[in-house]
A = this chain, B = another copy of it.
Amino acid sequence: MAAFRHLNEMPKTACHDDIRDSRAAVAGFVARLHHAPVSGRTLDALCKQGTLLTLGKGEDIPLLTGQGTVACICEGATKLIATASRQREQIVAFHFRGDLVSIPQSGEHAYSMKALKDSEVLLFAAEAFLKIARGDPGLLEATLVRTQTALFRCRDKAVGLGRKSASERMASFLMIMAERIGTNEGGGCLLDLPMSRRDIGDSLGLTIETVSRQIGEFRELGLAETDGRSRIFLPDLKTLSIYTGHV
């Protein structure tokens, strides 16, 4: 179960380590968010309004009801899921350490968010976060830039979903993951994917069977080597990129 830590409701007798940890998590996140010194006032406000969650793998991130939510991924990895209808989920985005996620109070679809592995997430009511940012132009601008990045990624995803074949989607996915969470390894790139085949399928608008087959194709082409469920080694990103179907 998710461990809540309302930063402003910390009992006076609480272990000081806990308080320092929470504050450190907020400070660390904001430091990654914009590379400028953070004012103590902003930090205080963020600690006061935010809720730090420690989540186990697979756990739900409780989005606020009746208002928008801003989630900061301090540690780990998460998925943002839109439910079109029962048995039809679309993963809108994966998020990793340092990402800032905005979820509206209610859009066309119902959204939910889950941890892909043990994670630490800082939650804000969107309005409260915006209010703090309003008083700190640096934070406001950093938030705008992050939101733009999310928009650009989402547009690219839309192109893939609307106009690409299964193999092109798979190649694009692997390239994106290589860029975001890959580690260099003897000329190639090693991935330790935190998401399941089902997650990949739900992200690419494909079934698990198709995902599995496409990975198999790349394996036979010598462009991917799998090791267990989560590790994929990509020996030749340059050749793989040809399969993405980008211009």
Contacts and interface: CB of A to CB of B under 8 A. Distances in A.
B162 A90 contact: yes
A205 B154 contact: no
Nearest to A204: B162
Contact of A108 (B83, B140, B162, B246): B246
A107 B204 contact: no
Contact of A141 (B89, B108, B130, B161): B130
A64 to B, nearest CB: 15
A237 interface: no
Copies of this protein in the assembly total 2
Q: Which of A108, A151, A162 has the most chain B CB within a 10 Å cutoff?
A: A162
A156 interface: yes
Nearest to A169: B162
A92 B162 CA distance: 9
A97 interface: no
A144 interface: yes
Contacts of A133: 141, 144
3 shortest interchain CB distances as A-B pairs: A162-B205, A161-B161, A154-B154
